[in-house]
Structures are given as structure tokens and as C-alpha cells.
Chains A and B, each alone.
Chain A
Amino acid sequence: MSQVNDFAFKVATVNGTGSASANGLLLQALFRMGIPVSGKNVFPSNIQGLPTWYEIRVNKDGYTARSPHFQLMVAMNPKSYQQDIAEVDPGGWVLYDSTRELDAEMRRDDVTFYGIPLAAMCADRFEKARTRILMRNIGYVGALVALLDIEMDVVAGMLEEKFAAKRQLVDANMSAIAMGYDYAKEHFECPLPIRVERMDATRDSVMVTGNSATALGCVYAGATVGCWYPITPATGVMDAFTEYCQQFRVDPDSGKNNYCILQAEDELAAAGMVIGASWMGARSFTPTSGAGISLMSEFIGLAYYAEVPSVFVDVQRTGPSTGMPTRTQQGDLLLTAYASHGDTKHVCLYPADPKECFEFSVAAFDLAERFQTPVFLVSDLDIGMNDWMIPRLEWDDAYRPDRGKVLSAEDLDEMDAFYRYLDVDGDGIPYRTLPGTHPRGSYFTRGSGHDKWGRYTENSEAYLEVVDRLVVKIRSAAEHVPQPEIHTVEGGASVGIVSIGGCHWAVMEARDQLLADGLEVDYMRVRGFPFGEAVERFLETHEKIFVVEQNRDGQLRMLLSVETGCPKEKLVSIRNYGGQPLSKEHVLDPIRPQLEVVV
């Protein structure tokens, strides 16, 4: 088994011991060696004490979807030894802390066990209890540097950068690295057949989480008011927004903020604040997860009906109810598309990685203002919280926000009268004014029945006129949301795959394999809702369509069935919803047998 730059390994540790930074160090070192790499943090809803895992996949071909096949397990948590050791592929390796020897029944004959007395060595080398715990993690990094042939210079350079201001931390960390490295060199067969070799495949890439990229998109879009209630896995969005605002948005003359971040008392209030700020004309957003969207739903309906632009970021986690807050899922596709009571439908954007989180969050504000409606950026925990390798982000300095139809004081001066909900242009989008602009621009915003003049009404015809216009308006957004990404074989295949969001990478990998095996299949990733012509056409031109998604009930399939002319029978559901990111196996295993019959 010789696998250079093509394997996956997993680190099992205890939550709250500082292993996250050690694992981040590993990921970044591999990335800096020019090797395509991905990391998946599998963590508990806990502050300290429960088992936690980090999975790293290196792949010279650039496949970054999660791999469930681990050739190496770094088993640092005796409490999870049993399951961790069972998970290693036959022929693989287990690196464990031999300060306490493994129980005989833990042993397997088909894997190689490497014991390293990290805790004992740390006890000898470091004085403080906390340092001993932290350095044990750095110790296994050192061992992995030897075992996987990671370049020591790269790791050392990163520690220098990280602790530039704290010399003694660099020394302690280097000492711990050397401790693990030397022990491994002396006692193990180094490097292992699974090892890395410098490449040049990451030069134009960066490593970032979707939540950071989303926050940065909000900054670049010109958002000034961010409102939120803390919730995993969306908290990182506001943490990053705060950080970027402190960096880019402090007025140099006064030292005051060109932004306002309000931590609300709950998600209901966060939604209300966003709507209030947007009503005034600020670009405003709230990051949350599905549970938050449930709470915000009443306000979302108000924003839809009263036509207040607003941006909602849903970093999806496993539902229903509290569900598994630290596991990923795409369980809010229906919720976001139709949030709130009565007839509502919302513009949704589905990023597949942090790059699209950045781009789509800018687009979300433009669409919200252009169509005067709530817009959802539907991300998920995997995209949001994990570090992803993405092409370096770019920005067009010529970009200016699309504020939509907003009347200025000059416009209002020249008008005889202004009516908020009048379809002047016949495109379903009325004109709006910002409060305080002009005496003639005033109107009443309300979630109760209103006519096109903006007055309260309980009259059927007057009510229908407004709600029927909303249908036209939202439908017209279909051609303005990000269009689907489509991959076809020459001449087009009769079988297609449709997926969404973070499924993309596993589907692409699976499709490559199918193509390599001579099984022709086309692929479309939907990137926005409502669905437009391109989605309709793909569905029309394929006889059988596998719909790949990460929820139990096939919500994307339901949306496609309801919102397009595609007969339900054509849509075959492929689902993975246990909380783990999608792997190519989730796609290949169910599709291949069916495909071989069709083709």
C-alpha cells in the first residue's frame, strides 16, 4: 500500500484540550506544501471532556470531499479507542499514546500499532499541567511530521508566524514537535507508505471557512447593521464580521464605527432588527441556523409581505428541533423556501464552498434590494465551520450595490404623489422610499392587509392585487439568482444527477469515477431558488435524474417536483443525512447499480 498524496487520516482527541490548533497546524502545513487537502472537524456540543475528531484528506487530484476511509488513526482518547481503532482500513496504522498501554482486546491483527508515550514525555519536559496537555497535541504533530514526511521547515515556519510575539511559545512548541518527531524516527518505520510529497497545486488557493467568507461578503456588500443571536454553527459569521469591521470599518478620524452589531435577546428580535434597519435603508443581515429560522418565521412573512429587503444566513445543522447542533445537514431547504405562514416564497442562494459564500452574500444583498424581499443564503455547518481550500477571492472595484428602485428626494420633488405598492413599471416591483427622505415619501409599512396605495384593507380585490403581484415579482427573481452549474458529456447523457450546496464536491468526484468507468451521466448543481429556465431545461432533457442531497425527506426533490414541470417519477432520491458531510461513496453506492441497468 503505497499512497503518496492520496490518503486520509483521523485524529481522535478530547474536546477542550487544544487539539484544534494542532490539527489546524497539520492542515495548513499540508496546504503550504502545495498539496490539495481538506479537513473536517467532527466535534461534540460540549466545552470540555467529550470525544472529538478531526479528519484530514490529502488528494493529489484535488478531490476534497470527505473520505470515510482512514489509513491512519491518531488515537489520543482512550474513551473512544474502541470505535476509533475499528474505523481504520485494514493494512492501516494506529498511532496511540502508550503512556498507558493498550488493552489486548483493542488490538487488531490487520493494522499496525505504533505507541508513543506522549503524556509521559510531556510530563518530563513541561512543568505546568495545562502546558503538558497542550504539548501532547503538538507531540503527535511532530510524530506525524516524521511518519507522513511533512516538511519540518514548513511546520517550524508556521509556528514562528503564529507565535511571532511570544518567543517562549515558539520554543515550547518546537520542543514538543521535536519530541514527537525524534521518537517516531527512532521507533517507527518512517515515512509510512502513506506519505506526502511537495506539489504545486495550491499556489492560487487560500484556506478559509465559509462563515468567514460569508462575513467578508457582508462587509464588501456594504452591510452596516448585523444582528444576531448566538447559535452553532452560525456564530462564526458574526465573530468574523466583527473582526473585519474592526479592521476595515472604524472611522480613522473619530475612532467610531461605520457599523453597528446588535446581539439580540433572541432570534425573533434579531430578525426584527434586520427588518428595521433595512426599512431605514441600511444593508442589514442576520446569521443563524435552522432553529433560528423557525423563530424568525413570523417576521420573515412580514418582510415578504411588506416588501422589506433583508438578508438571512442559514448555516444549516442537523434537525429537527435542537437535533445535533454540531453536525451538518441540508434540512432547511423547504423551511427557507417557504418560511412563514400564509402564501410565501423566498429567494434562496445555495453556496457550495466558502468562495460562493463570499460571492453569494454580496449577491444576496443586491437581490434583496432589487426584489424588496427576504433573501436566504443557505449554507451549512460543513461549509461554514470547516477550513476549505478555495481559489483566491477576487473583487471588482467597479462594483456598486444594486439598491433597486429607491426614490431620492429629487425624484419625489418631481412627483405628484407616491404610493408604495403600485406596480408602476409592470414588472411586479414597486418603488420604495427611505424614511426621512422627503415629506411626500412617507408611507405605512404593515404586515396587515394593504392595498396598492399602501392603505390598510380588508377588501378582497385590493388584497389580491398586492399578493398576486408578489407572485410575479418573486418568479422574476428566478433568472437573477445564481444560475445552475451544469456539466454534460458530449452530446448529452440521458441520465443526470442534480445536487445542491456542499454535496457538489462528492458528486463531482463520484461522477468522474462513473465517467472513467464508461458510465455517462450529466450533472447540474442548483445554486438559486426560484428555479429558472436552465433548471427546467436540464430536468426536461434527462430521462432519469438522481437527486443527491443531505436530508431525510428529499427536500430538494420535493422542491423540484413542486416548482418545476418535471414529473416526480423521473426524480430518484439519493440521501445522506446522518450528520456527516457527503462522500463519493454516498453517491456511487446507490447510483451505480441503477445506472448500469439504465445504460
Chain B
Amino acid sequence: MSPSARPVARHPRMRTNALGLTPRDYEGAMSTLCAGCGHDSVTAALIQAFYQMDVEPHRVAKLSGIGCSSKTPTYFMSQAHGFNSVHGRMPSIAAGANAANRDLLFVGISGDGDSLSIGLGQFCHAIRRNVNMLYVLENNGVYALTKGQFSASADVGTRSKKGEVNRHGPIDPVNLALSLGATFVARSFSGDKRQLVPLLKAGLAHKGFAFIDVISPCVTFNDHVGSTKSYAHTRTHAHEVVETDFVQLKSRITADYEGGSTQAVTMHDGSVVRFSKVSEDYDPRDRGKVLRYLREVRNRGEVATGLLYLEESYEDLHEFENTVERPLVELEYETLCPGSKALAELQKEWW
């Protein structure tokens, strides 16, 4: 047995989902990350989200780049297809894979180094293409595998474990995603599963690129006093702008969610995202207002969380490219090859 294999032990009365699968069926290999790593909490939330969404594991493609966060696809859904690509380039693998087989569910796990430095370009272009996928950025502000260098999301004034102070302005992935036209933009905290799980579920149901920035503290290199990405700092500075509830299609929605401080958006598959505790001047469907509001929150030194922006009607990659409904990988060769007669005909133009 591999050292990372998880012992199989099941409670006889363990609950099951609509597919008859238990939460255990959504687990992966044992994590090799540090004890207390925020990423492991995100993994646990993903397992819960997939379980609750009744997703067939083998119909999921889980992708990542390089770094601690990118190791995590190994730690959930062993029966899903994994692709641990090269540093910062997961979005291109996802785009090509999605182009070829639009029927699978795509989930990409990345980190702040992976998405905001080496892979900044690919991250931006996946948003522009609106690749239909859930993209989770596990954001801890440091390069941990290489022992604690600042990443591009490190805040000005934050201190490294060695005591250095970061002076470069951070790249805020939420702000960036909104500016680039992302259709689903959320932020959460690995320590807040109550918030994170519905966000992940909504992200999975979203048509297009669903981006979730998850502040996920690094217990080894960035959890000290003076760090703005520590557990303590995130707990005290996280500001839930909108509380989000995700109601899956199978639940047969009958209630009217509009009214009061609650807003509702119906996803393309019929599921509903319900926003509540929304302040008067906040509209998660108005990009301009969201950007302004988030700037104010940031200026107060707080971190806005929740499903910050949602647009369900925008074209995704396949609509842009006008591809057939069937996955391209399923098309029979006979429909793809024009044949000898067409070749003879075509060559008349080459005379």
C-alpha cells in the first residue's frame, strides 16, 4: 500500500447521496500538507460540495498547476480524473480539455503564486474565454514549497516569517477577475466552511468561469503576527458582504426569494443562488457597483467575502466558438472526414 493511501473504514449507517455514494466516495489520498493547512479545509469543503451536488466522480476533471494548493486535487475524489500540469498553466489545459469534452465538470485548484505570478496571463485569458469551470485560488500570500517568499497577493506592510516587510502592491484576484469580466466572483475563507460550501456548489452550477478566491492560511510560513494572511488576521478582518445560500435544482424551488434584503439569481441549470444580508447599496449583479463597494471595504483594511458578483447570461467558451452540443470527443470519425470525393472536388481549386 502506498503511504498516502487512506484506510478504508465505513460506518454501516453512513449517509448517502442521490447516487448512493457516501462522503467517503468523494475522498482522495491522504494529504501530505502541513497539519492545520488551510488548503485541507478547502479540500474538505470541496468533498462536501461534490457529495451534496450528487456529482458522479468519474465525470469530474480536476486540474491544477504547481505548488501546495496544486497538490490538493490528489486529496479529493480518487475516482475523478486528475491533471497536475506545469506551474501557472492549468487554465490552458482546462480550456483545451473543456473544448474537447464539454460534458465533464471541470474544477481547477490553484494558488496565488500559480495564478497571480507565473500564471497571471493564463488566469486572465481563461476569464476572457469564460471557460466553464470552477476555479479555486487557495490564497496564502506566500510561496510555501520554496520556504516562504512573498507572492504577488502579499499585502503591503505584511511581514514574512523571516521578518521582511513586503513593499510591492498586491494583485487582488477578485478585483482583477471583476475587471476582466468574470461572470462569477467570490471570496471566502478556508476557516469558514459554512460560507465556503454553498459558494463551491454555486460555482459548480455556474455556466462559465466561476472564480473563488479562498484565503487559506499557511500555518508554516505565514501564520504569524504581522502577516495579513494569518488565521487570526483573516478572522478579524473578513467582512461578509453578502450571505449566500445555494439551492440546488433537485430541491424543487417554490418559494419566492425576492424581497426584503434578499435577492435571488437562477442559474442556467435551474438552481438558485439566494443573496441575503445585502446592504442597500450593494447589488451582486452590478459590476460597477461591486467594484466600488469592494474598494471601500479594502480601504477600511477589511477583506470582503461572499458571492460578490454573478452573471448567468454571458456566453461561455462553447457559445463563443459555436461548437456542437455533443462533446467533440464523441463525434464519429465518419462525420469528421470529408472523404475522397470531397478531396477530389477541393483540388479543382488547386489547378
Contacts and interface: CB of A to CB of B under 8 A. Distances in A.
Contacts of B85: 272, 275, 299, 302, 447
B86 A395 contact: no
Contact of B86 (A208, A225, A302): A302
Among B4, B82, B323, the one with the most A-chain Cβ atoms within 10 Å of its Cβ is B323
B347 A393 contact: yes
A261 B321 contact: yes
Contacts of B335: 251, 258
Contact of A397 (B91, B318, B331, B340): B340
A9 B325 CA distance: 53
A143 B318 CA distance: 52
Interface in A258-289: 258-262, 264-266, 268-282, 284
Interface string B57-80: 111010000000000011000111
B324 A220 contact: no
A225 B99 contact: yes
A257 B58 contact: no
Most buried by B among A208, A275, A394: A275
B119 to A, nearest CB: 10
A354 to B, nearest CB: 9
Given A220-B337, A258-B331, A272 B122 contact: yes
Contacts of A274: 96
Interface in A217-266: 219-220, 222, 224-225, 227, 244, 247-249, 251, 254-262, 264-266
B81 A219 contact: no
B152 interface: no
Interface stretch (B100-108, B159-167, B172-180): B100-108
Interface string A326-358: 000000000000000000000000000000000
B328 A260 contact: yes
B351 A222 contact: no
Contacts of B327: 280
B338 A220 contact: yes
B84 interface: yes
A82 interface: no
Contacts of B56: 439
Contacts of A395: 339-340, 343
Contacts of A225: 96, 99-100, 328
Given A224-B100, A438-B58, A268 B329 contact: no
Given A269-B122, A299-B86, A438-B58, A262 B347 contact: no
A219 B335 CA distance: 11
Given A208-B350, A299-B86, A436-B81, A262 B99 contact: yes
B351 A400 contact: no
Contact of B95 (A251, A276, A392, A397): A276
B204 to A, nearest CB: 16
Nearest to B103: A436
A32 interface: yes
A271 B2 CA distance: 32
Nearest to B56: A439
B57 A435 contact: no
A400 B103 CA distance: 25
Interface string B307-351: 000000000001001111101110101011111101110110011
A282 to B, nearest CB: 4
Contacts of B81: 435-436, 442-445
B79 A280 contact: no
Contacts of B103: 436
Interface string B19-37: 0000000000000000000
B278 interface: no
B321 A257 contact: yes
B304 to A, nearest CB: 29
B41 interface: no
A156 interface: no
B325 A256 contact: yes
A227 B325 CA distance: 20
Given A32-B351, A455-B2, A281 B83 contact: no
A455 B128 CA distance: 34
A79 interface: no
B89 interface: yes
A468 interface: no
B79 A439 contact: yes
Given A206-B347, A277-B96, A393-B347, A258 B328 contact: yes
A426 to B, nearest CB: 24
Give the 4 A-B residue pairs with the shortest CB-CB distance, closest first: A272-B92, A276-B96, A273-B96, A282-B100
11 contacts: A206-B347, A222-B336, A224-B100, A244-B338, A257-B324, A266-B121, A269-B122, A275-B85, A280-B329, A282-B101, A444-B73
Given A400-B333, A445-B82, 10 more contacts: A244-B338, A258-B328, A259-B328, A269-B92, A270-B92, A277-B96, A280-B104, A281-B329, A441-B58, A446-B84
Interface of B: 2, 4, 56-59, 61, 73-74, 78-86, 89, 91-101, 103-104, 121-122, 124-125, 129, 318, 321-325, 327-329, 331, 333, 335-340, 342-344, 346-347, 350-351
